[in-house]
Structure 1
Amino acid sequence: MIKRIDTYIVTDGNGQEAVNFYKNVFDAELVSLKLRGEMVPDCSEDRKHLVLNAQLVFDGLCLQISDENPDYTYQAGKNVVPTLIVDSVEMAKKLYAALSVDAKEIFMELQETFWTPAYANLVDKFGVVWQISAEVAES
């Protein structure tokens, strides 16, 4: 089942500033802030300050923020992404299979990452950038 659709904002190297700005704008609770330097092994010094993922919660909503991966070019207009948070790898596979039909671009095929058992990032046939992420309870 789809648990929720979060809004994901991708910033251009100023993620920590954006986190503080939106935290104040929405009077949000900062639930999580993970910097690239804390999470990525052998992270270079010039990338350690970049936000890998931050989560702000307010009014029952979740706003996620990260800096663009420095290996990619930041693109304004493609920096606000609906993110499907699902409760199983099976649902992630189903949504990925459907959204990837005639996809314009697949940034990351559905795969396990260090933060989730199933994650994908793609541009569907209508030019909408989507993220899919399984949020599975640990047993």
Structure 2
Amino acid sequence: MKHQATPYLTFDGNAREALHYYKDVFEGEILSIQTFGEAEFPTPPEVDERIMHAQFKKDSLFLMFSDAFLGQSVTAGNNISLALELESEEEIQTLYNRLSEQGTVIMELQDTFWGAKFAKVKDMFGITWDLNYTTQS
């Protein structure tokens, strides 16, 4: 069995916006969205539209999303980095362009000493992405 870590991204009320952003960036599909209001337990009306759990998929990329419940804090930033091994120069360039458009480039897309093109970008939601395309076998 192949083991794969599934990143779970938590937001402070804007998980739906983030979910649709990543759908557009990666051209994937939203598999499911469940709000706190749809949960089978009572929740305050202020959280009814917040996402309790959502799933996104693009090929082998699988992400889960949630909004924090009232009173829980969210610290976006350097606490998570998601590494993606990409399949072509075109793909890494496209994702680099899309993520950096409203984000912050930490390391520009460049050739590396380990035989890859690599970039590190913090997107508009504070999530850091390590983009890697191995150019040498």
TM bin (shorter chain): 0.5 to 0.7
| C-alpha distance in structure 2 between counterparts of 1:2 and 1:11, whole Å | 29
What letter matches 1:16 in structure 2?
Answer: R
Q: Check if 1:59 corresponds to 2:59.
A: yes
**Cα distance per residue 1:72-116 (max 9 Å; x no partner):** 11222376488xxxxxxxxxxxxxxxxxxxxxxxxxxxxxxxxxx
Q: Which residue of 2 aligns with 1:6?
A: 6
Distance 1:53 1:2, change over 3 A: farther
Correspondence list, 1:1-139, <5 A: 3-77=3-77, 80=80
| C-alpha distance in structure 2 between counterparts of 1:28 and 1:41, whole Å | 31
> Structure 2, unaligned stretches of length 5 or more?
83-137
What letter matches 1:13 in structure 2?
Answer: G
TM-score by length of 2: 0.52
What letter matches 2:10 in structure 1?
Answer: V
| C-alpha distance in structure 2 between counterparts of 1:65 and 1:78, whole Å | 17
Deviation at residue 36 of structure 1 after TM alignment = 0.8
| C-alpha distance in structure 2 between counterparts of 1:72 and 1:78, whole Å | 18
TM-score by length of 1: 0.52
Deviation at residue 15 of structure 1 after TM alignment = 1.0
Distance 1:2 1:53, change over 3 A: farther
Distance 1:3 1:18, change over 3 A: same
| CA RMSD after TM alignment | 2.2
Q: Number of paired residues?
A: 82
**Cα distance per residue 1:16-70 (max 9 Å; x no partner):** 1111111111111111111111015221111001111111000212011111122
Q: RCO greater where, 1 or 2, for CA within 8 Å and sep 6 or more?
A: 1
